[in-house]
């Protein structure tokens, strides 16, 4: 745990600060000697806008940089700018930057997205490498998702039971070994559950009352049902692939009464509840652990659903990291 003043940064925070230093963000602001818009930073560090925005979103939330609005340009896309703080001024190459880079691990040996990865427009791509250290990180991430399924599902049962009224058959796409669908079928016994995942995953699944384990690939087809659930699935994938997945799910449900239930984080650019810090940390992990995945804002979710052909959707915010989006054909 690295601490800057009152801010204690965990593993995700150290990765984000490391990327900022490698990109030269503190030095660029120091040289500019004044607030900078996102486009000005982009021109200086040569990183794709989406990736840089996510890094800065995390760092401003944690007090490393400051985000301020320019009220005179409230209608301008660049109506805000980033400025230095006492902490960011310590992260220049002539001050604490070398120390932080050592804390994050020697070049080539630390896991997580690097400045080189971000400039090339992708995360570190842990899924597609043969690096044992990255395999360990990905396995730990998968284990976390399995454990978190219990917490997320309990939040859904407690705060969003109406979402499951009238559903006779529910498919959990990418349901791993069936933890979530098993809990939902037990809580709502009128539902017949289908746990849908790849062959190597289903092979490890144990029998669950009221749940059928089905082998398949969500990019090819999804089993027919009244409703399809995607829990912590879409944040792993690019916008284009998310749209492909959503279209397959839409094909699997009835056009009149069907729906797709998305359980995922929704990013609030300006505020958020006490779980926003956890969502931002998750976004940094997703940036490192996937090629094009990301946590999305409500506007980004709406755009995906619209392109995938859904007519409307509702959002239910929970007292949890995730929210529930119900999308209708």
| DSSP secondary structure letters along 174-223 | T-TTSHHHHHHHHHSTTPEEEEEE-HHHHTTPPPBTTEEEEE--TTT---
Find the domain containing 108 and state its range: 2-115
Q: Of 26-30, 160-164, 178-182, which gets the smallest average pLDDT? A: 26-30
Number of domains into which the chain is organized: 2
Report if residue 225 sits inside a domain: yes
Report if residue 320 sits inside a domain: yes
Task: State yes or no: pLDDT of 156 exceeds 90.
Answer: yes
Report if residue 127 sits inside a domain: no
- 174 and 303 part of one domain: yes
Domain boundary among 115, 141, 163: 115
Q: Quote the percentage of the chain above a pLDDT of 90.
A: 47
Average pLDDT over residues 40-54: 87
Domain boundary among 85, 115, 145: 115
pLDDT of residue 129: 45
- 163 and 296 part of one domain: yes
- 19 and 79 part of one domain: yes
pLDDT of residue 127: 45
CATH number for the domain harbouring residue 100: 1.10.10.10
Mean pLDDT of the chain: 83
Report if residue 125 sits inside a domain: no
235 is catalytic: yes
- 110 and 136 part of one domain: no
Q: Which of 6-20, 30-44, 104-118, 292-306 is predicted most confidently?
A: 292-306
Residue count (the chain):
329
Tokens, residue 250:
């839409």
106, 27 contact by CB (below 8 A): no
pLDDT of residue 105: 57
Average pLDDT over residues 209-221: 97
3-state secondary structure of 83: strand
pLDDT of residue 194: 98
- 34 and 147 part of one domain: no
Task: State yes or no: pLDDT of 7 exceeds 80.
Answer: no
Instruction: Provide the pLDDT confidence category of residue 2 given band limits of 50, 70 and 90.
Output: very low
pLDDT tens-digit map of 88-140 = 888 888 887 786 676 555 544 444 556 666 666 655 444 444 455 555 555 65
Q: Whole-prediction pTM value?
A: 0.76
**Euclidean distance between CA atoms 288 and 125, whole angstroms:** 7
- 74 and 163 part of one domain: no
pLDDT tens-digit map of 295-316 = 999 999 999 999 999 999 999 9
Task: State yes or no: pLDDT of 193 exceeds 80.
Answer: yes
- DSSP code string of 146-184: HHHHHHHHHHHHHH-GGGGTT-SEEEEET-TTSHHHHHH
pLDDT of residue 64: 86
**24-27 long-range contacts, CB within 8 A, separation 24+:** 25/55, 25/56, 25/65, 25/88, 26/84, 26/88, 26/89, 26/91, 26/92, 26/97, 27/92, 27/93
pLDDT tens-digit map of 168-192 = 999 999 999 999 999 999 999 999 9
Single out the catalytic residue among 176, 235, 313, 317.
235
**Residue 232 DSSP code:** S
Task: State yes or no: pLDDT of 321 exceeds 60.
Answer: yes
Q: Where are the alpha helices (DSSP H) in 253-308?
A: 276-289, 298-307
CATH number for the domain harbouring residue 284: 3.40.50.150
**Euclidean distance between CA atoms 48 and 19, whole angstroms:** 13
Starting at the edge strand found earlier in the chain, the sheet holding 323-328 runs 211-215, 192-197, 169-173, 227-231, 259-264, 323-328, 312-317
Average pLDDT over residues 2-30: 70
- 64 and 104 part of one domain: yes
């Amino acid at each position: 745990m690295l601490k800057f003043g009152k801010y204690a940064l965990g593993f995700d925070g150290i990765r984000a600060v490391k990327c900022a230093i490698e990109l030269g963000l503190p030095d660029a602001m120091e040289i500019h000697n004044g607030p900078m818009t996102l486009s000005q930073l982009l021109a200086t560090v040569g990183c794709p806008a989406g990736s840089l925005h996510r890094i800065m979103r995390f760092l401003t939330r944690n007090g490393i940089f400051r985000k301020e609005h320019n009220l005179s340009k409230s209608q301008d896309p660049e109506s805000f700018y980033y400025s230095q703080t006492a902490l960011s001024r310590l992260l220049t190459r002539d001050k604490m930057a070398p120390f932080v880079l050592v804390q994050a691990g020697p070049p080539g040996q630390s896991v997580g997205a690097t400045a080189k990865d971000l400039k090339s427009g992708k995360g570190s791509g842990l899924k597609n490498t043969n690096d044992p250290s990255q395999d360990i990180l990905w396995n730990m991430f998968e284990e976390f998702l399995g454990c978190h399924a219990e917490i997320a599902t309990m939040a859904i049962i407690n705060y969003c039971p109406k979402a499951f009224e009238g559903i006779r058959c529910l498919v959990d796409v990418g349901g791993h070994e069936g933890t979530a669908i098993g809990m939902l079928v037990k809580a709502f016994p009128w539902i017949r559950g289908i746990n849908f995942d790849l062959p190597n995953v289903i092979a490890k699944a144990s029998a669950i009352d009221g749940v059928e384990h089905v082998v398949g690939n969500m990019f090819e087809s999804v089993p027919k049902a009244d409703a399809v659930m995607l829990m912590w699935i879409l944040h792993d994938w690019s916008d284009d692939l998310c749209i492909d997945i959503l279209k397959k799910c839409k094909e699997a449900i009835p056009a009149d009464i069907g729906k797709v239930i998305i359980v995922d984080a929704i990013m609030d650019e300006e505020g958020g509840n006490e779980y926003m810090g956890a969502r931002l940390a998750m976004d940094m992990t997703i940036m490192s652990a996937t090629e094009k995945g990301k946590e999305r804002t409500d506007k980004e979710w709406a755009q995906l659903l619209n392109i995938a052909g859904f007519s409307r959707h509702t959002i239910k915010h929970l007292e949890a990291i995730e929210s529930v989006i119900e999308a209708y054909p």
